[in-house]
Structure 1
Amino acid sequence: MPGALHGIKIIDLTRVLAGPFCTMILGDLGAEVIKVESIDRGDETRGWGPPFVEGESAYYLCANRNKQGFTLNLKSEQGKEILKKLISEADVVIQNFKPGTLAKLGFAYDDMTKIKEDIILASISGFGSQGPNSNLPGYDYIIQAMSGLMSITGEKELQPTKVGVAISDVLTGLFTCIGILASLHHRNYSGEGQEIDISLFDSQLAALVNVASNYLCSGNIPERMGNYHPNIVPYQVFSASDGELVIAVGNDEQFRRFALLIEEPILLEETFKTNSSRLQHRKQIEQLIQNKLISKSKSEWKELLNQNGIPNGPIYNISEALQSEQAQSRNMVLDVNHPFIKNLKLVGSPLKLSKTPIEVLRHPPLHGEHTEEIMSKLGYSQSEIEEMKLNHSI
């Protein structure tokens, strides 16, 4: 069965993570995605390693399945003409050049509408098209710093800490995907395309959610709290006899059951009955709980906590998480066919659609793997293709 976005054609002019992550999702959903790369080195992440597998970097492989690989020299006149042809047949163009770069090449949104009146252009940048920082490069690490995310991450006594993955890139990719889907829906009933302006900075600010709201409502600047929650107690890491686990008590009834389970009568006193009062006695509660939890193993506590409806979980490393029974049952590790890599495994999609399930129909493309095929579909002869190769246009 065709995917949910079958019939939608995406021209992907992005590289690194935010854009490629977005277009991979669209490809997973059935859209035709043509990944356009420079003819010399292509997407920078092709060289971001080790680890490499048969010359392909693990970083590049993580965000580029379900795409066709196409190389193009956008500085050449022939290259620009080819891009115009691609746009004329497309529904969406997505790009993450520095703001203004595409316009200098003759492909601003207004230029694209002359090629395809209802085209949708999604532009990703570090800080968006307006503001004093609009011309600055957008690196995830810088965004984590400037958005305030690092100021609330890590232990209070230590340096601010970045999140362990490029979370600002990932969130921006998701917001871009949402914007594209909304724009496609708008076009369905209005016939109009539109331009989408997405920035990493805006995306990360939006993702501060309750922490930002806490500040806007109180005026108090949030601080780093390590593994603690600013609004809930207990909601943190504890040590069992053989390692660490997280316990997240989300309401007063859960706390009552938890106090009974660990057989700590002090916690049933009126002083600790509500979450607001527990916030005022965080350290005392933590010590009482920790004294009890050290008596059993993680697995023993998990079984008891699950039986009593107390949210909890062991702290897995990446291997344990990906190899867990839960991950396997949800098909979150996929075996993907590849022309050179044997037993290529990729992280699966979290989107589980009953009528149009996600399929991996294409491996992450080799550099320029489908250039000749796409050029032929655009109407170029084999001799013209060979000539453009010699001219370094494709």
Structure 2
Amino acid sequence: MTAGALDGLRVLEMGQLLAGPFCGQLLGDHGADVVKLEDPRAGDPIRQWGREQKDGTPLWWPIVARNKKSVTCDLRTADGQRIAREFAAQADIVLENFKPGTLERWGLGYDELSAANPGLIMVRVSGFGQTGPDAHRPGYGSIGEAVGGLRDVVGDPDRPPSRCGISIGDSLAGTFACVGTLAALHHRTATGRGQIVDVAIYESVLAVMESLLPEWELAGHRRPRTGARLPNVVPSNVYPTADGGGVLIAANADSPFRRLFTLMGEPELGERYAPHEERIARADELDALIAAWSARHTTEEVLSLLDTHDVPAGRIYTAADMLADPHFAARESIVHVTEPRLGSFPMQNIFPRLSDTPGAIRWTGPTLGEHTDELLSKDLGRSPAEIDDLRKRGVV
């Protein structure tokens, strides 16, 4: 159990589903003590989301809730709000992703919590942020992807906007929430003061949209959907192989482009179109030439030739490919941990890698309320009789 860089930090996670809890996962991966408050009736809905195994056990929860402690607490009740305030008084970070204004209605806003804990950092994740005319709107990751510009550029040009196969808007928001948390912690070290980290899902998506805005405002260009091709980066596409597969080739820099066309037996084209501006104008022609060459070879032959000539390329990996890949194994990109209900359980490791404090997957997602009695007793001083009374009244 290698200590992570955030060992000793206490995080109180309130909220549910993915954007906020993904931030909590990242903090817990690197050693933070994450206490997650969940509604005692059903807990976080993500406990039931995702594909299920034959025994009905969901497979997403063990990952997103790893390294967290689960305490049941009905925040809609006065006693539940009192419990949350007591935990917050001991916390370094409160992480929440309720609709803006919800915590204030419960007497759990930043003003109230920071009065008892001036160094507290509150990380607030929402669809549209804490301010502005749309702050009140509900916003899931998919809405943030649409409003933030991602959906408009994803998919094939002759079809309506598509989506990624994962909840990328939520994950981006959770990642930016983690970045904001670490920045606020650094500021607190220098000043002793906490602050609010305001994370909007749509802004987290907008942040990765490259030059989308000046392309429109300064050049009048609306970036189109281009399928597997990267706009104005040539060649960067998926090319067919003789065995029915496909290889992504990204020979868009001048030197790799020359090497690609040399191994294809067309060195003169590699020289003629080495300036990238020339390739952009002839993207369809060049893609056709590369596809004709790749289609004459199997996937493994194409990958071997490209690797030998130092041309960036890769197979389109499935989960099975990842689990079988020796590079993944050598770096332990995927680890098998013991999940109490399922036994050996594969999941992605902790990223990024820190040389001295890599952190650890200490346990998988806990059962609902698994740590309620322990933490109410140890951290808040509740007696067994008091905890039983809270449970009978549905508070925990």
Instruction: Report the TM range for the smaller structure's normalisation.
Output: over 0.9
The alignment covers a number of residue pairs equal to 393
The one-letter amino acid of 1:299's match is: E
Say what the alpha-carbon RMSD is for the aligned residues. 1.6
- Aligned residue type for 1:344: F
Tell me what 1:392 maps to.
394
Give 1:85 shift. 1.1
Distance in 1 (CA, whole Å) between partners of 2:310 and 2:12 is: 48
Give the percent of matched residue pairs that are identical in Structure 1 and Structure 2: 34
Structure 1 counterpart of 2:250: 248
Distance 1:355 1:269, change over 3 A: closer
Q: Secondary structure at the match of 1:82?
A: helix
Structure 1 Cα separation of the partners of residues 262 and 3 of structure 2: 53
The Cα shift of 1:269 comes to: 5.3
| Counterpart contact for 2:350–2:358, Cα < 8 Å | no
Question: Of 368, 377, 380, which aligns to 2:382?
Answer: 380
CA distance 1:345–1:197, shift in 2 (3 Å): same
User: In the TM superposition, what is the alpha-carbon distance from 1:294 to its structure 2 partner?
Assistant: 1.5
Between 143-152 and 169-178, the greater mean CA deviation after superposition = 143-152
Aligned to 2:259: 257
Amino acid at match of 2:22: F
Deviation larger for 198-207 or 223-232:
223-232
- CA distance in 2 between partners of 1:255 and 1:133 (Å): 46
Task: Report the 3-state secondary structure (helix = DSSP H, G, I; strand = E; otherwise coil) of the residue aligned with 1:183.
Answer: helix
AA of the residue aligned to 2:256? Q
Residue 42 of structure 1 corresponds to 43
For structure 2, list consecutive stretches of 5 or more residues without a partner in the other structure.
none
- CA distance in 1 between counterparts of 2:55 and 2:371 reads 19
User: What is the TM-score with the length of structure 2 in the denominator?
Assistant: 0.95
Which amino acid in the other structure matches residue 62 of structure 1? I
Task: Assess if the C-alpha contact under 8 Å between 2:258 and 2:271 holds in 1.
Answer: no
User: Aligned equivalents of 1:238 and 1:95: distance in 2?
Assistant: 44
1:268 is matched with 270
Structure 2: distance between partners of 1:168 and 1:92? 23
Distance in 2 separating the partners of 1:117 and 1:202: 28
Tell me the distance in 1 between the aligned counterparts of 2:53 and 2:145.
27
* Aligned partners of 2:12 and 2:94 also within 8 Å: yes
Structure 1 runs of 4+ aligned residues shifted over 4 Å read 52-55
SS of equivalent residue, structure 1 residue 106: coil
List aligned pairs for 1:1-394, cutoff 5 A.
Answer: 1-52=2-53, 56-242=57-243, 243-265=245-267, 267-268=269-270, 270=272, 272-377=273-378, 378-394=380-396
More displaced 10-residue stretch of structure 1: 145-154 or 91-100: 145-154
SS of residue matched to 1:107: coil
Deviates more, 1:234-243 or 1:192-201: 234-243
| Residues 199-253 of structure 1 deviation map (CA, whole Å, 9 limit, x = unaligned) | 1000001111244453354231111011112121111111121110011013112
Contact 1:125 1:138 in 2 (8 A): yes
In 2, distance between residues paired with 1:146 and 1:82? 37
User: Which structure 1 segments of 5+ residues have no match?
Assistant: none
TM-superposed deviation, 1:52? 4.5
In 2, the alpha carbon distance for the partners of 1:52 and 1:215 equals: 47
Q: Give the Cα separation in 2 of the matches to 1:340 and 1:380.
A: 30
Q: Secondary structure of the equivalent of 2:64? A: coil
Q: 1:55 to 1:290 in 2, by over 3 A?
A: closer
Q: What is the SS of the residue equivalent to 1:344?
A: strand
| TM-fit CA distance, 1:339 | 2.8
